[in-house]
Homo-oligomer: A and B are copies of this chain.
Amino acid sequence: MSLLVVGSVAIDNVETPQERRDDLLGGSATHFSYAASFFTPVRLVGVVGEDWPAQHTELLQSRGVDTAGLQQRAGGKTFRWTGRYLPNMNDRETLDVQLNVFGDFDPIVPAAFQDARFVFLANGVPAVQAKVLAQAPHRDIVVADTMDLWINEHRPDLDALLQQLDGLVLNDGEAKLLTGQQNLVAAAEAVLDLGPRFVIVKKGEHGSMYFGRDEAGRLDSSVLPAFPTRDVVDPTGAGDSFAGGFMGYLTEQGKIDGATLRTAMAYGTVVASYNVEGFGLERMTSVTRAAIDERLAQYRKMLAF
């Protein structure tokens, strides 16, 4: 079974208290694809400009990511993001954003991708996310990410999209903003009333929470801490690689029952913990499925009592 992802593909400049690195392979769909590729074949839809280095595409292809849906716009420039992490390595400032070709991204799902059953709509304009669904008629499971900008400024489109989702992935601040609830449990439950069958609330270095309903309609929840790591080099893309590990595992399993969703969250947690150990995708290039499974076993031990 394969997984379709649509979202941003970017070139990042990242500054940390230790180091500054320019021209990193970035973007939500990129981190997602790479993370998911350890579990399932991934089909990527995105857009880049003329300045996009061919070796970035090759890196994704080396993991089996199908880049047939990666449009390259002649005369355009790739989406660029520059950010700086504070000493706590959790909070960051965005120093510069140039949307470039991503600003009027019109996703085109190649014919060969249209049989996709698992679909992930990485963070983007809700109306654009919705366009993808019209091009994935065989979709079974659709999960989306969103952000404060769309919650504040594209609410009607977002509300319409929520009706079409199986799951929503968002961070804690966004869950509170979307629902007006300050308590995260109350916020997560309120998200379920907006349409999705389940919601994953990402809390950065503090882990994630899952809320859904079981077959009998009863509230079902799970809560997992982040995998504690000493070596936080660059947190960029942690949330996207979490989502990639999560969706990758769900697609591999071909189902979304409660037990599978919980294990998927754990895999997402572990994959994200590798992602932050290097700039961009650098650490991920030396990760294997065996290493992921080994850290998953270590993580399970850490949670046991």
Contact = CB atoms under 8 A, between A and B. Distances in A.
A63 interface: no
A230 to B, nearest CB: 4
Nearest to A301: B222
Contacts of A203: 206
Interface of A: 87-89, 182-186, 189, 203, 206-207, 209, 221-230, 232, 259, 262-263, 265-266, 300, 302-305
A305 B203 CA distance: 19
Identical chains bound together, number: 2
Contacts of A221: 228, 302
Nearest to A176: B88
A34 B298 CA distance: 35
B185 A230 contact: yes
A302 B188 CA distance: 15
A171 to B, nearest CB: 14
9 contacts: A89-B183, A183-B230, A207-B207, A209-B225, A221-B228, A221-B302, A222-B305, A259-B305, A265-B305
